[in-house]
Structures are given as structure tokens and as C-alpha cells.
């Protein structure tokens, strides 16, 4: 069992909460633990190490940069866990040093294991002469022509290096120069981080050398008149957060300006290799003007996000067993007609276990169908070659009314979103950019189809983005429905964003920022009232992050009343569970595994023990964070179809609560510990369960002979439930006969 990771606990009243930034760092430590997990295939472990490094890069670009700005501005406001910006930065730096040390140790171990599999990442000094010759030949043909060495002297100022840029720094000597001359060799982003100098297909042997080692080895070719005294490797991270001017008249033009400004954001982290000389270190610190920023100079290999270069498909034995997502059989029952299948009954598609192609097919069919008169679509993030956008362009060119709500403020996707917006406008679509002060984070598609003398709405509501690549690794839910009330509500949501008209009299849909917070609190209050009346009270919820203090306090109130609360929170959790008198009825777990948990679900007992058919069940685009509830346009979607209701609560949620293989339990002291399996020889994995078992709502006729495996709800331990009956330990995932006919 891995060592638990621990967060810092305050001793004052703010000790009821965990710090947001530190909680995220502990999530990243759980990602790193998968890189150490011997049950994970070797190259997938390399991938997890790469992800942990990439996560840390973004954390610095946004979160650390924001705290540093506050510190420099003299802001002393405390976070709700009681820490000032400089205190948070101190704790972050301490924790990051531990993470970097753990990453370094992990990489050294992985290198040894890769070596046993004949994937050899070598230093130049370990190469044979023939291998050095191959390295130089590869360097001369593929790297040397792209390099631009930059000498630094009074006539040549310190060069600009872009965000996440790295390179080699050298000190040089020449007979006519008394003092050393310094130079920088930036490495272009498109150069592979590793040079593949040898591949023996027969013996399955690969040899790699990092590009920075190759540059250092051959640096004399770049400076033929100089003697190279010393060299080192560096990498920088820049402040990449964007502060939007709410008074900007042209939002697109303003974002183009901000993106140019982002590229030149101040350096907030400087990484240097182990053993870099003090002279080169001081030269870099002064050149990047980062005397007071985070300086890290203890890594033998910096920029571990680039380790994905070592992952190859021709080593399938070192990767996860390939998984083929299912296409909803119920659509096949209707000969591939999405509209006919959805009109018959709601369908819930569970990505990545069921193909994202069904979403693409839905919109492509809408684009070609002569009876479809209008399509309205939100776009928060999408892929570079987006089939969703292509379908919208096709629809617009065929004369249909297409409204695309493109969110420019989707962090790090701003440029691609602006490009898609221009393409859509050229095709004749109406493109809107939402609010200046709110992000539109809802995932919604509305198709209006003429059927006879009436118009019928087909609605897609999701928890994840319209991104085909992400849908292969992100777990998300997508609901297709012809419910006219939801169709009307979604129409009002689009009108809200396009015309600033706040939606009134919504029938079923709840949206942020106008009502989602109040609805969540109301649903929790109902559970509290049920307990006070002697009925059961229960909440199950799944999300990516739990940060909102107001919601946390409401959950504490519910726990103190005796409501039984189970939370599956993948990443940040500021709630402290299991504290006597505060939160002893709250359990929190995090699932980190093959797929990235991304769906948001909330289930409320509604006067009975969960799971039950009367429970109120919702899916959502929103995490329980202030930004989602206060500053974003989000959706909370009620699940009312009996089959979909059972699928979400008694299949998806119960499987998540049962998961042992990928789960970590959060304790009151801040430690995350791996969930001990009931049967160590067969730990239950929710991911494996969903890969092996069909969903309920998409199976159609095949459900008669291919029902999913039944699951039993795990019992609670040491739970406190005053004046309430004990929760059921035998809640079954089953398919009743009436649903088998669907």
C-alpha cells in the first residue's frame, strides 16, 4: 500500500476546511501514485508521470501566478482556510519540492524498468561509438538546421523565451575576450524531446537520447571559434492567466490582444538541471528577472511532460489492453436514425464506454435532414479537426439557422475557439460569445425539427465538452431527449446568453448563475427536513472539485442532522469529512485510474434510503465551486426517465461507490489512503465494470439477453444516523421486466 499524502491542518476555526491549492497538489500526488503502481502497464505509468508534470505546469501558469500577483500587490486577504497569499505560496513551494523529488525518483525507477523491456533512455556518455555516430547524424539532419544560438552581450540583449520554453545555456571562452561570453540555444517546441537513434525490430530494442544532451554534446558545431567552458539546461513557466476588461467593446479583438500579452507574461518559475554552475544559474536568474520567483534547480531531467514521446503503439504489451467503445444498440434498432430512437425514449450515453460518435452522428444527421430548421450549440472546448464544427458549418451552408455559442474564455483554447468562430461565421452561422463576465460552461445542443405541422425539439445535454479525443478518456454523461419542457428551457438558456434576457419560469432545467446554487441548497434542506421528521436522509454526489464554502457548510449542517452523505470528488476537496460533531456522516473518496473522472452527478434520497425510484437524480456541467455557481453559465438536468434514472443511480453511482482498485479515501486529518479491497485478489474497478457491462438506456432490444452485472451497495462503517433506519446493504442493480422491453 502506498504511503498516504497529508495536507496541512490549521488549528483555528478555519481548520474545518482544507486549502484549495494544497488539495489540488495532493490530487496530483495521487496521479503520480499511478506512475508508481505496479498493476499499471509500464508505458501507461510513464504517461501518468507525464500527466503529473503537465498538471504542475498549468498549476504554476494559473494558480501560483495568481497568488504571486496578490503577494506582489500587497494583498493580505485570507483564503477561507485562513491562509494569506504568501503563506499559501510557502506551503505550495514546500509541497512542490516533495512532488518534484518523488517525480525524479519515479523516473529513475521507470528508466530501469524500461531498460529491462529494451527501451533504453541513455546518456551520451553511455553510448557506444557507433551509437554516438548515429546520434550526430540524426542531430545534424533533424535538429541542427532548426537551432539559432543567441550570444548575450551589450549588442545582443537577453532573448525572449516563450512559455514552457526550454533550452541550453553555455559559457564560452575566446582568446580575444577576457571574460566569459554567455549564449542561449532555445529548443523549438516542434523538435521531439528525444532522438530515437536506434530501433531493432527483430530484438525489439529502442535507444533514445534527450535532445538537450545531443545539443550539449555537439555544441562546438554552433560555436566553432569558442571553447565551451560550461553548459546547463533550463525551462521557464510564464504567468498565463488572463484578466478580462469587462468594458472591452470588441471581445474578439480584446482576446487577440490578451493572447499576445500572455505569451510575454512574467516568468514565475525557472527550472534548471542538477549541477548547473553558480555562474550559469545567476546568469539565467538575472536574464529572466526572476529573483523572487520559484527557482528549481534539482532535477536531472526537467519538463517531464515530454515523456509522452517515449510512448509507442508498437509495444502493446506495455499499454492498457485496447478497449472498443460500444455504439448504443437502441439507435441501431432504428436503423441508425437518431431522431427516431430519441423520440421513442430518452437515451443516456456514458462516455468513454459508449462512443462519442453518436453525438457526431446526431449533429451530422441534423445537418443533412431537410426537416431540421435550426440548430443551437454551445462550444466550450472542441478538437482541432472538430467534426462537430464541421457539421454545424454543413448545416449553415444548407440554409439552416445555426446559432453557435463559442466561449472565448475557455482557458488555453481561446485561439482555436476564435478560429472556429470565424469559420462558422463565414458559413453563415450566427456566432455569439456569451457574457463578458461569465463563462458559458454548459454543454448543450438543441435541434429543432419540423414534424408535420409542428416543431419538435431534440436536445443533447452533457457533462463533458464536444471534444472527440477527450471523450475517449474522460468519463462523461450525455442525455438525448425530446422532452418538450427541457427543449423549451434550453431555448430560454440560449436566449439568455444571446440577448441577456434572464430566463423566467424554467420548467425543469436549473441553470447557474441564476438558480443552481439555490436549488442545490434546497435539495439538501429537504434531506435535512426528512431526517427531522424521522425519515431517511441521504445525498450521493460525484464531481471534479468541491470548493464552495457555502455548499460545504450546508453539507456540514446536513451531516449534523444525520443525513448520510457519500461524495466522489476526483480532485480538489476543501471539505473535511469524518469530524465528530461536524461531518461524521460524510464520506469522501477520489477515483484516479485509466480514465479521467469528469461526470457530475447528484442524487437525493427524497424521503427514502438511496437508491430508490423516488430519489431525485441530476446530472450537471458544474462542479461545486464558486466559479461554477457564481460566474459561469451551467446546467443542472433532472433525470426522470425510469431507465436512465436507474442507470445513473443504481449502475453508475453504485459502481463508483464500490470502486476499490482506483479509489482513495479522504480522512479527517487530510490523509488520502487507498481503499482496501474486500477481496485483495479481485479488487473491484468501476472502470473495468463499465468496460465489461452494457448500460441500461442504450441497449434497446439487446437488454433482454445482455443485462449488466448486478452490484450491491457497500455498507457504511461507524455511521451515525439518529432516529433513522439503517441504510440498506442489499440495494441491487437489476433490470425489471418492464424495462427489458424498452
Query: Which letter, b or e, does each residue of 417-428 get, where b requires 16 or more Cβ atoms within 10 Å of its Cβ?
Result: bbebbebbeebe
Distance CA 688, CA 659 (A): 10
- Which range, of 100-114, 312-326, 405-419, 583-597, averages the lowest pLDDT? 405-419
Provide the pLDDT for residue 13: 53
Q: Give mean pLDDT, residues 257-269.
A: 64
What percent of the chain clears pLDDT 70, i.e. is strictly above it?
Answer: 89
pLDDT digit string (tens) for 96-136? Answer: 999 999 999 999 999 999 999 999 999 999 999 999 999 99
**Number of alpha helices (DSSP H) and beta strands (DSSP E) in the chain:** 21, 27
Q: Which domains does the chain have, with CATH numbers?
A: 1-116 (1.20.58.310), 124-299 (3.30.1840.10), 329-505 (3.30.870.10), 511-740 (3.30.870.10)
Q: Between 291 and 254, whose confidence is greater?
A: 291
Provide the pLDDT for residue 223: 92
Contacts of 70 (CB under 8 A, 6+ apart): 77, 85
pLDDT tier for residue 591 given thresholds of 50, 70 and 90: very high
- Which range, of 310-319, 370-379, 413-422, 425-434, averages the lowest pLDDT? 413-422
Provide the pLDDT for residue 405: 87
Q: Is the pLDDT of residue 426 over 80?
A: yes
Q: Which residues are catalytic?
A: 441
pLDDT tier for residue 435 given thresholds of 50, 70 and 90: confident
Q: What is the DSSP string of 499-519?
A: H-----S-SS-EEETTTHHHH
Of 337-351, 497-511, 683-697, the range with the highest mean pLDDT is 337-351
Q: Is the pLDDT of residue 244 over 60?
A: no
Q: Is the pLDDT of residue 486 over 60?
A: yes
Provide the pLDDT for residue 572: 97
Q: Is the pLDDT of residue 548 over 70?
A: yes
pLDDT tier for residue 314 given thresholds of 50, 70 and 90: confident
Query: Which letter, b or e, does each residue of 98-122 get, where b requires 16 or more Cβ atoms within 10 Å of its Cβ?
Result: ebbebbbebbeebbeebeeeebbbb
Provide the pLDDT for residue 725: 38
Provide the pLDDT for residue 156: 80
Q: Give mean pLDDT, residues 322-334.
A: 91
* Contact of 303 with 271, CB cutoff 8 Å: yes
Q: Give mean pLDDT, residues 306-318.
A: 93
pLDDT digit string (tens) for 388-401? Answer: 999 999 999 999 99
Q: Is the pLDDT of residue 60 over 70?
A: yes
| Alpha-carbon torsion, ordered 566, 570, 576, 578, to 10 deg | 40
Distance CA 266, CA 260 (A): 13
Q: Between 712 and 52, whose confidence is greater?
A: 52
Distance CA 168, CA 162 (A): 14
C-alpha cell at 125: 556518455
Of 64-68, 202-206, 553-557, the range with the highest mean pLDDT is 553-557
Q: Give mean pLDDT, residues 247-263.
A: 46
How long, in residues, is the chain? 742
Q: Is the pLDDT of residue 711 over 90?
A: no
Q: Is the pLDDT of residue 32 over 90?
A: yes
* Contact of 490 with 496, CB cutoff 8 Å: no
Q: How far is CA 436 from CA 239, 243, 247, 407, in A?
A: 21, 11, 8, 10
Q: Give mean pLDDT, residues 307-317.
A: 93
Q: Is the pLDDT of residue 697 over 90?
A: no
Q: Give mean pLDDT, residues 30-50.
A: 97
Cα separation of the two ends of the chain: 45
Q: Is the pLDDT of residue 649 over 50?
A: yes
215: left (phi over 0), alpha (psi -120 to 50) or beta: alpha
pLDDT tier for residue 235 given thresholds of 50, 70 and 90: very high
Distance CA 384, CA 659 (A): 34
Give Dmax (Cα) for the chain: 92
Q: Is the pLDDT of residue 729 over 60?
A: no
Cβ count near 576 (within 10 Å)? 24
DSSP conformation class of 357: H
Distance CA 448, CA 488 (A): 11
Of 461, 457, 496, nearest to 476 by C-alpha is: 461
DSSP conformation class of 577: -
DSSP conformation class of 257: H
Provide the pLDDT for residue 705: 67
pLDDT tier for residue 692 given thresholds of 50, 70 and 90: very high
Q: Is the pLDDT of residue 709 over 60?
A: yes
C-alpha cell at 104: 525524479
Q: What is the DSSP string of 439-496?
A: EE--EEEEEEEEETTEEEEEEEEESS-B-TTGGGTEEEEEEEE--HHHHHHHHHHHHH
Distance CA 484, CA 644 (A): 17
Distance CA 219, CA 570 (A): 46
Q: Between 93 and 294, whose confidence is greater?
A: 93
Q: Give mean pLDDT, residues 137-150.
A: 95
| 3-class DSSP assignment, residue 571 | coil
pLDDT digit string (tens) for 2-29? Answer: 444 443 333 455 789 999 999 999 999 9
Provide the pLDDT for residue 337: 96
- Which range, of 36-50, 402-416, 606-620, 657-671, averages the lowest pLDDT? 402-416
- Which range, of 8-12, 571-575, 629-633, 734-738, averages the lowest pLDDT? 734-738
* Contact of 8 with 21, CB cutoff 8 Å: no
Distance CA 418, CA 421 (A): 5
- Which range, of 219-228, 453-462, 573-582, averages the lowest pLDDT? 219-228
What percent of the chain clears pLDDT 90, i.e. is strictly above it?
Answer: 69
Indicate the average pLDDT of the chain.
88
Q: Give mean pLDDT, residues 287-298.
A: 84
SS3 per-residue string spanning 610-665: CCCCCCEEEEECCCECHHHHHCEEEEEEECCCHHHHHHHHHHHHHHHHHCCCCEEE
Amino acid at each position: 500500500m502506498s504511503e498516504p499524502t497529508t495536507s496541512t491542518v490549521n488549528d483555528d476555526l478555519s481548520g474545518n476546511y482544507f486549502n484549495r491549492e494544497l488539495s489540488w497538489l495532493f490530487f496530483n500526488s495521487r496521479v503520480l501514485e499511478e506512475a508508481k503502481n505496479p498493476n499499471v502497464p509500464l508505458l501507461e505509468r510513464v504517461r501518468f508521470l507525464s500527466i503529473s508534470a503537465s498538471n504542475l505546469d498549468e498549476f504554476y501558469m494559473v494558480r501560483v501566478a495568481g497568488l504571486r500577483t496578490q503577494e506582489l500587490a500587497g494583498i493580505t486577504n485570507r483564503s477561507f482556510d485562513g491562509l494569506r497569499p504568501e503563506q499559501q505560496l510557502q506551503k505550495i513551494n514546500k509541497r512542490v519540492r516533495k512532488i518534484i523529488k518523488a517525480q525524479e525518483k519515479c523516473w529513475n525507477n521507470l528508466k530501469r524498468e524500461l531498460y529491462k523491456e529494451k527501451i533504453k533512455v541513455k546518456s551520451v556518455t553511455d553510448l557506444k561509438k557507433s551509437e554516438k555516430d548515429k546520434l550526430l547524424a540524426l542531430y545534424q539532419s533533424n535538429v541542427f538546421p532548426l537551432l539559432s544560438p543567441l550570444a548575450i552581450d551589450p549588442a545582443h540583449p537577453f532573448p525572449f523565451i516563450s512559455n514552457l520554453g526550454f533550452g541550453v545555456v553555455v559559457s564560452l571562452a575566446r582568446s580575444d575576450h577576457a571574460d566569459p561570453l554567455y549564449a542561449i540555444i532555445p529548443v523549438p517546441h516542434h523538435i521531439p524531446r528525444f532522438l530515437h537513434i536506434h530501433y531493432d525490430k527483430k530484438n525489439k530494442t529502442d535507444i533514445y537520447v534527450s535532445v538537450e544532451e545531443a545539443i550539449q554534446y555537439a555544441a562546438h558545431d554552433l560555436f566553432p571559434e569558442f571553447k565551451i567552458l560550461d553548459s546547463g539546461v533550463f525551462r521557464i513557466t510564464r504567468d498565463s492567466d488572463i484578466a478580462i476588461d469587462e468594458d472591452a467593446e470588441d471581445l474578439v479583438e480584446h482576446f487577440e490582444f490578451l493572447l499576445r500579452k500572455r505569451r510575454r507574461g512574467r516568468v514565475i518559475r525557472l527550472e534548471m538541471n542538477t549541477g548547473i554552475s553558480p555562474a550559469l544559474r545567476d546568469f539565467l536568474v538575472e536574464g529572466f528577472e526572476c529573483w523572487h520567483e520559484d527557482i528549481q534547480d534539482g532535477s536531472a531531467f526537467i519538463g517531464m511532460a515530454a515523456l509522452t514521446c517515449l510512448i509507442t503503439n508498437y509495444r502493446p504489451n506495455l499499454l492498457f489492453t485496447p478497449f472498443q467503445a460500444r455504439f448504443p444498440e437502441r439507435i441501431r434498432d432504428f436503423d441508425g436514425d437518431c431522431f427516431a430512437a430519441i423520440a421513442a425514449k430518452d437515451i443516456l450515453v456514458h462516455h468513454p464506454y459508449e462512443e462519442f460518435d453518436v453525438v457526431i452522428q446526431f449533429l451530422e444527421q441534423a445537418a443533412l435532414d431537410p426537416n431540421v430548421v435550426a440548430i443551437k450549440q454551445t462550444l466550450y472546448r472542441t478538437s482541432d479537426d472538430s467534426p462537430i464544427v464541421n457539421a454545424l458549418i454543413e448545416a449553415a451552408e444548407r440554409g439552416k439557422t445555426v446559432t453557435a455559442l463559442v466561449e472565448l474564455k475557455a482557458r488555453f483554447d481561446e485561439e482555436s475557439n476564435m478560429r472556429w468562430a470565424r469559420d462558422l461565421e463565414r458559413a453563415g452561422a450566427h456566432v455569439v460569445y456569451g457574457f463578458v463576465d461569465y463563462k458559458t460552461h454548459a454543454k448543450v445542443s438543441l435541434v429543432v425539427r419540423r414534424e408535420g405541422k409542428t416543431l419538435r425539439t431534440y436536445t443533447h445535454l452533457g457533462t463533458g465538452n464536444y471534444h472527440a479525443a477527450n471523450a475517449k478518456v474522460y468519463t462523461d454523461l450525455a442525455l438525448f431527449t425530446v422532452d418538450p419542457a427541457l427543449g423549451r428551457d434550453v431555448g430560454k438558456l440560449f436566449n439568455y446568453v444571446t440577448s441577456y434576457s434572464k430566463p423566467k419560469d424554467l420548467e425543469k432545467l436549473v441553470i447557474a448563475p441564476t438558480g443552481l446554487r439555490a436549488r442545490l441548497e434546497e435539495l439538501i434542506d429537504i434531506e435535512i427536513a426528512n431526517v427531522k421528521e424521522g425519515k431517511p436522509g441521504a445525498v450521493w454526489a460525484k464531481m471534479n472539485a468541491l470548493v464552495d464554502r457555502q455548499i460545504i457548510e450546508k453539507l456540514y449542517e446536513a451531516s449534523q442532522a444525520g443525513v448520510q452523505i457519500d461524495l466522489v470528488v476526483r480532485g480538489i476537496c476543501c471539505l473535511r469529512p469524518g469530524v465528530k460533531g461536524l461531518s461524521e456522516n460524510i464520506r469522501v473518496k477520489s477515483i484516479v485510474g485509466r480514465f479521467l473522472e469528469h461526470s457530475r452527478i447528484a442524487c437525493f434520497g427524497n424521503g427514502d434510503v438511496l437508491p430508490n425510484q423516488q430519489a431525485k437524480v441530476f446530472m450537471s456541467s458544474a462542479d461545486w465551486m464558486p466559479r461554477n455557481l457564481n460566474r459561469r453559465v451551467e446546467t443542472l438536468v433532472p433525470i426522470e426517465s425510469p431507465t436512465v434514472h436507474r442507470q445513473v443511480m443504481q449502475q453508475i453511482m453504485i459502481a463508483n461507490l464500490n470502486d476499490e482498485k482506483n479509489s482513495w479515501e479522504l480522512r479527517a486529518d487530510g490523509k488520502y489512503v487507498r481503499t482496501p479491497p474486500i477481496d485483495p485478489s479481485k479488487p473491484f474497478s468501476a472502470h473495468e465494470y463499465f468496460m465489461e457491462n452494457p448500460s441500461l438506456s442504450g441497449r434497446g432490444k439487446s437488454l433482454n439477453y445482455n443485462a449488466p452485472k448486478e452490484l450491491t451497495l457497500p455498507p457504511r462503517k461507524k455511521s451515525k444516523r439518529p432516529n433513522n433506519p439503517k441504510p440498506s446493504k442489499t440495494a441491487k442493480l437489476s433490470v425489471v421486466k418492464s424495462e427489458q422491453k424498452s
